[in-house]
Amino acid sequence: MTKTLLIAEDEAGIRSLVRMTLTRADYEILEAEDGPAALALAREHRPRMILLDVGMPGMNGFEVCKALKADPATKDIVIVMLTAMAQESDQKRGVESGADGYLMKPFSPLALLKKVDETFEGLSADE
């Protein structure tokens, strides 16, 4: 099973951090720097998991999440929202848009790795 994961984030530094954290664990990392690119890559490569930044240009993370969950072909992708915004309204919007998890910046890369590992293990068990 390919362990493909999409990181959608407009900040290059954060993308680098995620890439450096996960490549060591043999995850295949796809990168998108705005909402539309994220949607296109998700539909094309159907990654098992997406780390989706909320504040992105073009389409924000909530809109991308909503679109993917509404599409039967992509609705099973595990989506974890990444956000720098600490307001409750953001978490509420994340839940409403169908996200599976929520990760607040700054996050621990080791905790992220653990969460990703668990997610993929869970997915494998399901299969």
Partner 1 sequence: MTRLAKLYLGAALVLVPLYFLLPRGSFVQGIFHPALSGVAAAIILIRKRTNKQVPWLVIGAGFSVYALANLIWFPLTVARRVPLPFPSIADWLFLVAYTTIGAGLFLYVRSGLVEVDRGALVDAGVLSGGAAILAWVFVIQPSVSGADSAVAIFVALAYPTLDLFMMVPIIFLLLSGIKDWTHRLLAIGVASALAADFSYSIGVLNGTYHFGSFIDAGWLIFFISFGAASMLTPVIARRSGESSPLRGGRFVLLAAAALLGTTYSLYVNLHARLSVVVPLLTIALICLVLIRLRRLVTGGEISVHLMHSIAETFPDAILSLSGDGHITYLNPGGEQIFGYGQNEATGMHVSELLSDFKSPTDLGPDVSVERRDFFELTGTDSFGRNFPVEVHISDASSDGSVIITAGIRGLSARKAAEVALSKSAALESAILGSLSDGLLITDLDKRIVLVNAAFEKLTGWKEEELLGRRPQDVYPVWDDSGREVLEEERVLSQLVKPESETPMSQHNITIGHRDGAHIAVAINGMPILVSGKMVGAVATLRDLTSEREIDQLKSSLVSTVSHELRTPLTMITGLAELLLSGTMTPESSEEGLRLIYSGSLRLGRLIEDLLSVSRIESGSVNARIGEVELSALISETVSAFGDASERIILDGCSKLPTAMGDADLVVQILTNLLSNALKYSDPPSHIQIRATVTDDEIETSITDHGIGLTPEDQDRLFQKFSRIDRPEVHAAGGTGLGLYITKNLVESQGGRMSVSSQLGEGSTFSFVLPLARESQEALR
Query: Which positions touch partner 1 (CB under 8 A)?
Result: 10-11, 13-14, 16-17, 20-21, 24, 33-34, 55-58, 84-87, 105-110
The distance of closest approach from Cβ of residue 35 to partner 1 in the complex, given in angstroms and rounded to an integer, is 9
CA separation for the pair 70, 75 (Å, rounded): 6
- Cβ distance to partner 1 smaller for residue 21 or 97: 21
The distance of closest approach from Cβ of residue 76 to partner 1 in the complex, given in angstroms and rounded to an integer, is 28
- Cβ distance to partner 1 smaller for residue 10 or 100: 10
The distance of closest approach from Cβ of residue 15 to partner 1 in the complex, given in angstroms and rounded to an integer, is 10
The distance of closest approach from Cβ of residue 126 to partner 1 in the complex, given in angstroms and rounded to an integer, is 29
- Cβ distance to partner 1 smaller for residue 57 or 122: 57
- Cβ distance to partner 1 smaller for residue 46 or 117: 117
| DSSP secondary structure of the chain | ---EEEEE-S-HHHHHHHHHHHHTTT-EEEEESSHHHHHHHHHHH--SEEEEESS-SSS-HHHHHHHHHHSTTTTTSEEEEEES---HHHHHHHHHTT-SEEEESS--HHHHHHHHHHHHHHHHHH-
